[in-house]
Amino acid sequence: MDYLNRNQFRFFKTHWNSVTCRCVALLVIVLVLRAVLFPTFLGFPRIENDNVVMIHNHSLFLKPEFGIWKIKFLEVPQIVWGLNNQKIAFARSCLTARMLNRTLLLPSLSASLFYKEIDQLQPISFDKVFQFERFNSHCKGFVQLGQYSDISNWTDVIELQKGSGRKWTVDRDLNQLKQFSNDPYNGYEIIRVAGKNPFLWHDHWPIRDYAKVFECLVLVDEISNEADRVVSKIREIGRGLRRDCVSENCKLETVPYIAVHMRIEKDWMIHCKKREQRSNIREICSSKEEIMERVGKIVGPKAPTIVYLAVADSLLEDNSILNGWKKGLIPFEKKKLGVVGMYKKYPYLIQSAIDYEVCLRADVFVGNSFSTFSSLIVLERSQKMIREGVTTSCAMDVRWPSYAYNILGESNGPHRWMTNISASNLQAISYGSNDICC
């Protein structure tokens, strides 16, 4: 044993005396000292301190070996307008933060529908509508949300002024983001965006990136439970209408229902008629009678079938939406369903979120292709079909079918509708389109 130890010592002494070995040892010592004494050397975070989330599918400006900075943030203006415009604005903010290699600070949504009267916006925190931890868990490695309490230096801020007007092109906007992703701007802890609502920012990302963000949005339990109540009531009434449903098994069956996003409110009719005039497109507005006639042409669940009408009651001037439906289609809205009191407990944003879930879960959905609300529901339903191996719903019977009642389809019914997930941008969904991929 002593012989071995003496030989090992001689071997170590011989090699230690070499110049190469000494250089390697000195390099190791320097690296250890730098890691301990200068953790932010050259601006890079210490990964072992969990300051970086690694990205597997890197963005436009990130190299694969880099990640989302958890110690550098992007702050955006309050998000406004309707629920789904706000969801698009939120996703656009997330993707902007991803492009800048930053964490998005928890944004403020708007509980009310007012968007001109700033003092009436009724700000509501993101985590009062969607689950914060679930979002970060589902979107880990893609985008990241942070709390204001994560900020270490409130004075380390640079302002990014978003341009507007005709001269502010998509290319100029993209160049601005590229500029702010590099030094000296990249050195600031916070980049604060100043300017218009994020929904109106230029779009630089494919639908697939937006869809990924939307998949990470999970409603808080309170809102989700209210949607459960509405859907359960619809199906319960549907079972009661079936005269042949007498057995216990039948009473436990999931009874299908159709959801119609009935856009005939006064604000929509004014908007869509102006849009038709400007764009010279005649397939935007639909009257109550046209909607009822086309929905009646859908061959689907056997009669009698519940038709849930998703409509903004406070903006509706027509009280006859329950009259005139095809025999076998039994229309219900909030009042007839007996849930209007539950809806009224909440501000507009939450009411819209509940209706969105009710429409999303419907066996058949019918909406307006120029509506953001309808478009995002069809996007999610299209993703469900794709996950089940369906690549098109245009010429076959599938689960989760969707239709656009403002576009004439086969047999004078509504047109089949599926989102083109491969589209290079979200313009069709953001600003209205009759391109329904079928």
pLDDT at 113 over 80: no
> What is the spatial distance between Cα 328 and Cα 303, in angstroms, rounded to a whole number?
5
Predicted pLDDT at 184 = 93
When mean pLDDT is compared across 47-56, 64-73, 243-252, the lowest value belongs to 47-56
Mean pLDDT in residue range 87-109: 96
> What is the spatial distance between Cα 100 and Cα 94, in angstroms, rounded to a whole number?
10
**Strand (E) or helix (H) holding 324:** none
> What is the spatial distance between Cα 189 and Cα 153, in angstroms, rounded to a whole number?
7
CATH architecture of the domain covering 221-428: 3-Layer(aba) Sandwich (3.40)
Mean pLDDT in residue range 61-65: 38
Residue 224's φ and ψ, nearest 5 degrees, are: -60, -40
pTM score, whole prediction:
0.80
Mean pLDDT in residue range 315-344: 87
Predicted pLDDT at 120 = 62
pLDDT at 305 over 80: yes
> What is the spatial distance between Cα 252 and Cα 266, in angstroms, rounded to a whole number?
40
Residue 196 — pLDDT band, cuts 50, 70, 90?
confident
Q: E strands, 127-187, where?
A: 145-146, 157-161
Alpha carbon of residue 392 to chain centroid: 22
Structure confidence by residue, pLDDT tens digits, 420-436 = 888 888 876 655 566 67
Q: DSSP character for 219?
A: B
Same fold, 73-216 and 221-428: yes
Predicted pLDDT at 37 = 46
Domain boundaries, the chain: 73-216, 221-428
> What is the spatial distance between Cα 341 and Cα 363, in angstroms, rounded to a whole number?
25
Structure confidence by residue, pLDDT tens digits, 361-407 = 999 999 998 888 999 999 999 999 888 887 766 656 778 899 999 99
> What is the spatial distance between Cα 277 and Cα 273, in angstroms, rounded to a whole number?
6
CATH topology (fold) of 73-216: Rossmann fold (3.40.50)
